[in-house]
């Protein structure tokens, strides 16, 4: 059995287990586009039909009926939890929400202008020093680390938002779900039920997306048998780039620059004429609408109606229509998440950290899978530089 990898035929059984020398390497594929780098049971994407599922469960069913905690369990264990299993997971997540006091003290030393993603990366790396079995990658420890990291991400993000604004961090709730707890720690007051529901759905939608850049980075690090905290630090650094997780922040900056719906078409036309990238459109995998954008579009509109402010949704809708008509591009998950988060009162530069608060569940699921069937990830590069260059002694160089 073989599988097509770009322009390279690679035997399926050889992909993970055969020595590199046994795999024919005839040409490179820029950005590894459409190259199959691993077998995985976690996430299935059908780019032509615009379908996404976690362990076979359709993303629309999860968004309409599930919760982030239930989705995280599915990603980690491959099946939906029983009621007892779900309650046990919720209890474990609540138990790991609090930050170790030395980490809070470390956060207080950081310059207030430090970017939230940089803080998250630094705190996760430092967290390993306060976890006694941080370097244990055994089966039982893997799930313990996944739960701890998933629980503590929102606390780091919310605590930094308050500290940089001269406020004291709010202790996490002893009850309440993941989304409600994050909004409570961020604001210091309990969120309304609908806003918490919107964030819960957004967390489900962002939880995993196959071998995206940050997930691949996590698996590459885990493939060396580095600990989970090191692998997650790699993933955070990768997610921070504007071509990955940082795109939703750039989308909101664009909406703010446009300012008013009637200026939309002129602005986007000018951006395209200047060959500027309009963030939030197109996807390496999807050739139709990103199924996650479907839910975020609806929630953006509903939040606008509830807040009596449809300006950001209207601008977004007009950009979408223009891009479809003139470029044939559909919005991806980043596009409507920008206005959705903004209408929830979330600062723009927290968009990517919130993405991370969701994706940590998928990252850890992939790391667990990598550990279980590990082979060091070591691709090849096709050399295109000069050859047979003679060495010239330093005194003879011009």
What is the C-alpha to C-alpha distance for residues 30 and 183, in angstroms, rounded to an integer? 40
Pull the structure tokens for residue 131: 């976890």
Of 200, 208, 334, 351, which residue is the catalytic one?
Answer: 334
How far is the CA of 56 from the CAs of 48, 79, 176, 272, 307, in angstroms? 17, 9, 28, 38, 36
Pull the structure tokens for residue 152: 């503590």
Pull the structure tokens for residue 174: 């002893």
> Are 43 and 54 in contact, with CB atoms under 8 Å apart?
yes
> Are 327 and 280 in contact, with CB atoms under 8 Å apart?
no
Of 283, 290, 351, 366, which residue is the catalytic one?
Answer: 283
> Are 236 and 117 in contact, with CB atoms under 8 Å apart?
yes
> Are 312 and 288 in contact, with CB atoms under 8 Å apart?
no
Of 77, 135, 197, 244, which residue is the catalytic one?
Answer: 244
- DSSP code, position 331: B
**For the chain, what is the radius of gyration of the CA atoms?**
22
DSSP codes of every residue in 134-169: TT--SHHHHHHHHHHHHHHHHHHHHHHHHHTTT-PP
Q: Quick check: is 283 catalytic?
A: yes
Crossing angle for the helix pair 291-306 and 311-327, nearest 10 degrees?
Answer: 150
> Are 286 and 294 in contact, with CB atoms under 8 Å apart?
no
> Are 41 and 64 in contact, with CB atoms under 8 Å apart?
no
Q: Quick check: is 77 catalytic?
A: no
The CB-side HSE value for 392 (13 A sphere, CA atoms) comes to 6
The catalytic residues are 244, 283, 334
């Amino acid at each position: 059995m073989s599988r097509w990898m770009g322009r390279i035929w690679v035997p399926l059984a050889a992909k993970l287990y055969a020595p590199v020398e046994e795999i024919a390497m005839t040409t490179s594929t820029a950005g590894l586009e459409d190259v199959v780098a691993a077998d995985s049971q976690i996430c299935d994407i059908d780019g032509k039909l615009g379908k996404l599922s976690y362990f076979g469960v359709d993303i629309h069913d999860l968004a309409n009926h599930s919760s982030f905690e239930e989705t995280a369990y599915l990603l980690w264990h491959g099946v939906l939890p029983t009621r007892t299993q779900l309650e046990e997971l919720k209890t474990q997540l609540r138990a790991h929400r609090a930050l170790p006091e030395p980490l809070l003290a470390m956060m207080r030393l950081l310059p207030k202008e430090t970017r939230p993603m940089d803080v998250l990366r630094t705190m996760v790396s430092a967290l390993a020093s306060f976890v006694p079995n941080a370097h244990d990658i055994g089966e039982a420890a893997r799930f313990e680390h996944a739960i701890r990291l998933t629980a503590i991400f929102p606390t780091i993000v919310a605590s930094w938002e308050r500290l940089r604004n001269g406020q004291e961090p709010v202790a996490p709730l002893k009850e309440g779900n993941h989304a409600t707890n994050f909004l409570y720690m961020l604001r210091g007051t309990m969120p309304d039920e609908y806003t918490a529901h919107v964030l819960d759905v957004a967390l489900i939608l962002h939880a995993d997306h196959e071998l995206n850049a940050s997930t691949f980075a996590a698996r590459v690090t885990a493939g060396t048998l580095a600990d989970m905290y090191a692998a997650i630090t790699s993933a955070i650094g990768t997610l921070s780039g504007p071509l990955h997780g940082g795109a939703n922040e750039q989308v909101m900056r664009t909406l703010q620059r446009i300012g008013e719906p009637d200026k939309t078409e002129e602005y986007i036309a000018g951006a395209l004429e200047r060959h500027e990238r309009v963030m939030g459109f197109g996807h390496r995998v999807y050739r139709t609408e990103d199924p996650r954008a479907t839910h975020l579009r609806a929630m953006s509109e509903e939040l606008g109606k509830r807040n009596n402010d449809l300006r950001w949704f209207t601008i977004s809708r007009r950009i979408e229509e223009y891009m479809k008509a003139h470029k044939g591009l559909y919005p991806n998950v980043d596009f409507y998440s920008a206005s959705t988060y903004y209408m929830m009162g979330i600062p723009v530069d927290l968009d990517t950290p919130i993405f991370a608060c969701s994706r940590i569940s998928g990252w850890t699921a992939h790391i667990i899978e990598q550990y279980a069937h590990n082979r060091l990830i070591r691709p090849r590069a096709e050399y295109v530089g000069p050859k047979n260059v003679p060495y010239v002694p330093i005194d003879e160089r011009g």
